[in-house]
A = this chain, B = another copy of it.
Amino acid sequence: MNKHMATQSASKDVTDILRTAGLRPTRQRVSLAELLYSKGDRHISAELLHEEAVAADVPVSLATVYNTLHQFTEAGLLREVAIDGNKTYFDTNVSDHHHFFIEGENRVIDIPGEVVGIDKIPSAPEGMEVVRVDVVVRIREKS
């Protein structure tokens, strides 16, 4: 059934993931997914992913990159990290964790392990429920 097994070992899983998520595994989506997940946890902007795709000979339009990132996010494959205001980062690590934000460099990195302990999660106001707690530790070059 698969005509080119050899070249599809990596694509195969991605294809299934997409299908399971209810997304048609198109060329662009498969390629983008591979770029996203083949290098460990990443925090990437739409623009950067677009550049990577083009560099990897997967010409895809910026608009499609945006669409894809949002679809992946809705499907739970990515998490949007809103830290800086002007740019949106997408985190390939969907599990519960927090971030360092390097000021000046505008870079986001995961805080390793279960290092942040919040001992008192404040109770939400009447009729509200907590969706998620985000912790951002802003750091800079030691002066």
Chain A residues proximal to chain B, CB less than 8 Å:
80, 82-85, 88, 98, 100, 102-103, 109, 111-112, 115-122, 124-125, 127-143
Contact = CB atoms under 8 A, between A and B. Distances in A.
A63 to B, nearest CB: 18
Most buried by B among A117, A130, A135: A135
Copies of this protein chain in the complex? 2
A88 B83 CA distance: 11
Given A85-B82, A85-B85, A118 B131 contact: no
16 contacts: A80-B85, A85-B85, A85-B88, A100-B122, A100-B128, A109-B125, A117-B118, A117-B119, A118-B119, A121-B137, A128-B139, A131-B138, A132-B137, A134-B137, A134-B138, A135-B135
Most buried by B among A102, A132, A143: A132
Given A102-B128, A109-B125, A129-B139, 7 more contacts: A116-B120, A121-B137, A128-B140, A130-B138, A133-B136, A135-B135, A136-B136
A133 B103 CA distance: 12
A140 B131 contact: yes
B116 A122 contact: yes
Nearest to A134: B136
A135 B138 contact: no
B125 A139 contact: yes
Contacts of A117: 118-120
